[in-house]
Amino acid sequence: MYIDETVLNILYKVGDNKALGKVVLDDYQQNINRISIDVAKAYLANPTIPKPKNEAIEELLKMKNQDTEKVSKSKLEYLYVKVMTSIASTPEYVYMLEKAVKRFNEIIFKTQLAELGEDEKKELDDYLANLETTYTKNAEILEKMTEKQPSSQPS
């Protein structure tokens, strides 16, 4: 669901500049955090989505029409953590978040791929092919490990 650091570094032509790589990764993570907050707001605002029973959700929903400046920052942060913990595993929130992050990633790839030269595109293709090979091998190993082993106990 997320773009890994190596892919971001290739897309943004970071090269050996570790400081720039950190800025790119931090910006990406901040954008993902903003997306998760926006998705949480949309999730909570949608009356057709069933919400988990949670006092923090109820309190935030009651506040939506009130002036939140009257509520302390620490209280809002506490409620936010409680709400996110509660909704983060719901299928509706997960679906909405995956959809939003996928769209964000598509925008990044579309804009940044156009900026890459042939060498960078080849580097990206090679890296992604290597990742695919690694994931396939790991999946095969996992499958072999989880296959039902014959019982070693005497009958």
**What pLDDT, on the 0 to 100 scale, is given for residue 146?**
86
**What pLDDT, on the 0 to 100 scale, is given for residue 43?**
94
Would you tell me how many other CB atoms lie within 10 Å of the CB of residue 67? Answer: 7
pTM: 0.77
**What pLDDT, on the 0 to 100 scale, is given for residue 151?**
54
- Contact call for residues 6 and 131 (beta carbons, < 8 A): no
**What pLDDT, on the 0 to 100 scale, is given for residue 150?**
57
Q: What is the pLDDT of residues 15-44, one digit of tens each?
A: 999 999 999 999 999 999 999 999 998 998
**What pLDDT, on the 0 to 100 scale, is given for residue 60?**
77
- Give SS3 for 50: coil
Listed as ranges, residues in the chain with pLDDT below 50 are none
Q: What is the pLDDT of residues 143-154, one digit of tens each?
A: 888 885 555 555
13 CB burial (10 A radius; 0-12, 13-18, 19+):
middle
Residues 6 or more apart whose Cβ sits within 8 Å of residue 11: 3, 108, 109, 112, 113, 116, 124
Sign of CA dihedral 107, 112, 114, 119: negative
